[in-house]
Chains A and B, each alone.
Chain A
């Protein structure tokens, strides 16, 4: 359905996106992962025709849309990272405004608005001003506006940033439902690996403006198939302990989410003995040790040397 070929964007001397290739098949949900500044938003802006690429092509059903963005815009819904809503208008007024701008006939628009309000769960509070909504409700309406004209392809740029877990789950379920029930094609970017794992069939990992890995979830995880993740939960984390871990041989990566220190090591290496020795030397009490298959987050760390949320 959509193909992006060698997409590049320069801003003065800065290459924000550097030769990105990706594709989306009809009805699939694709994840675009990357830390801040990886070039995800610029890529999305180019795909959605808001920003003109410096070079490369974007093809919709084998037809370039660089010079005719209207074709793309007709079938596209975009959920921006920002809350792109009029705060002084109610949910219904926002939807009515965008519906009329999309030239949806009045009769149809009313039903469409009711349906969208139902999907995003704001029917009861449709007449209240958006500025009185919680962050989660605003995010839901942000999605609702993008759904109004029933797009075939929806691009979501970190749609769950800064909201409570309940609203986040609601949004994820909604996206899943749209994909399965309405066969909507979704390009989803996120900082949250678990969201991408939950929603996406395929994943692109971006860093420094380039796609550094792509494929189905399992394919990507298999990048670390010869590795294992050891999650060490400690009573109190000490710098000395971490420093000693770093100089142990065979440790690929260390990530810390206090009080858990995760290390990636080759499966064939038994590192537990050294691990306990280091803990003893640094007076660190280990509460538990879990040996896990590497997650996408571990793959990301392995590929970029950075964590997704930093």
Chain B
């Protein structure tokens, strides 16, 4: 019975070319127009970051460690405290961490090329680099003395930035400033006797976080056509819900719904049919739109599985909207609700979801509202998937989409007219 109802719904849609044009051709035309015409003023591409960093290494870590051990001996500290300090120094070498764990990490090594100098560089030479980092003489010795003996101030790395390449300079500044902050914190905290092991773990975590922050720049960029492929698809998927709701109300108005009830089709089967056929229609619509965008504009997804998961969730939410709108139409005996949704709410949801312009341009509070709106959760999930984020990173959006669906379906069940309420 359900199969017949779904089959019929799909056939009816297929035989209404006007609706097909609205749901398929129109968004694709808009993707083409907005994607290409606005590309010059709103190109989502971010420039490649190629940082060249020169490190002038004036420090000798081993020498520094020996100097500190010598001082420890002279201070006549207890053997236990002395061994702990030596172990700490052997385990935590700030310059090695900077060179190996930060600058040579998987995320940064393609963006940052490091060259090491032992001697002072000329100004002319410095111009070849995005920045020059000087590790001053006795850096390690001062660092360990600060950390283990509590003497002097924490040493500073000296960074000179090349302002002729501001983007690279800015990224470099952020990376090294974060690193310097962590070092200063580590040595300061250690100097007042906080557990070194725990702190080291924390520092490793912080370094990991720095990498994560900077790895954003390594995510795929979204160009203008891709942006509008997502924006318009998410906008037009809502029209599927409104069209299906209008169709379903036509069945009540023409007496077909009554005829189906008389054929012992329970109302919940009828509405389940609406849910499933909306899902199928929306799924086909999404795949045609993204398929065409892929063929004509090279809009591709780094991970197809993620794309399909989000699309399925979106289609489920749209099915919820269709059932909800149909229930309202049946309840109030009019398709005004679906028309209102189509003419007024869809554009609002699309705007709120960032289908027209990126919500980040409208302020943080707008961005927060957008995240939890039906369109916003959808577009944001698609954007992240296109950038190459994992499903785990999109979990908030996915939960939002599912929560909206559940709310819509529950409301629909309560709204649906019960037998005997209307003729």
Contacts and interface: CB of A to CB of B under 8 A. Distances in A.
A41 interface: yes
A157 B4 CA distance: 27
A50 B16 contact: no
B365 interface: no
Contacts of B5: 101
A81 B264 contact: no
Contacts of A49: 262
A77 to B, nearest CB: 8
Nearest to A103: B1
Contact of A88 (B12, B258, B259, B265): B12
Interface string A93-129: 1000110111100000000000000000000000001
A88 B10 CA distance: 11
Given A88-B15, A89-B12, A97-B8, A82 B255 contact: yes
Contact of A85 (B254, B258, B264, B422): B254
B419 interface: yes
A40 to B, nearest CB: 11
Contact of B260 (A41, A48, A93, A101): A101
Contacts of B11: 88-89, 93
Given A88-B12, A129-B15, A50 B4 contact: no
B256 interface: yes
Give the residue among A81, A83, A100, A145 with the most B Cβ atoms within 10 A: A100
B4 to A, nearest CB: 5
Nearest to A100: B4
A81 B255 contact: yes
B16 A88 contact: yes
A101 B7 CA distance: 12
B363 interface: no
Contacts of A98: 259, 263
A102 B255 CA distance: 17
Interface in B262-277: 262-265
Given A86-B256, A97-B4, A70 B264 contact: yes
A45 interface: yes
Contact of B263 (A83, A88, A89, A101): A101
B254 A83 contact: yes
Contacts of B420: 51-53
Given A83-B254, A97-B4, A101-B4, A78 B262 contact: yes
A42 interface: yes
Interface size range of chain B in the complex = 20 to 34
Contacts of B422: 51
Interface string B375-417: 0000000000000000000000000000000000000000000
B229 to A, nearest CB: 30
B423 A78 contact: no
A23 B4 CA distance: 36
B258 A84 contact: yes
Interface in A130-170: 145, 149
A42 to B, nearest CB: 6
B258 A86 contact: no
B12 A85 contact: no
Among B254, B259, B419, B423, the one with the most A-chain Cβ atoms within 10 Å of its Cβ is: B259
Interface residues of A, number: 34
A76 interface: yes
Interface string B261-304: 11111000000000000000000000000000000000000000
A84 B251 CA distance: 8
A51 B259 contact: no
Interface string A251-282: 00000000000000000000000000000000
A154 B253 CA distance: 21
B12 to A, nearest CB: 5
Nearest to B259: A84
Nearest to B422: A51
Contact of B259 (A53, A74, A80): A80
Given A84-B254, A100-B4, A101-B1, A78 B12 contact: no
Contacts of B262: 48-50, 73, 76, 78
A101 B16 CA distance: 23
B12 A73 contact: no
A87 to B, nearest CB: 8
Contacts of A100: 1, 4
A135 B346 CA distance: 37
29 contacts: A50-B258, A50-B423, A51-B419, A51-B423, A53-B420, A69-B419, A70-B264, A73-B262, A76-B262, A78-B259, A78-B262, A80-B258, A81-B255, A83-B254, A84-B254, A84-B258, A85-B256, A86-B12, A89-B8, A89-B15, A93-B11, A98-B259, A100-B1, A100-B4, A101-B265, A102-B263, A129-B15, A145-B259, A149-B263
Give the 7 A-B CB pairs with smallest separation, nearest first.
Answer: A52-B420, A84-B255, A82-B255, A88-B15, A80-B255, A101-B263, A84-B259
Given A51-B422, A82-B254, 11 more contacts: A42-B423, A50-B419, A52-B419, A53-B420, A69-B419, A78-B262, A83-B254, A84-B259, A86-B12, A100-B1, A101-B5
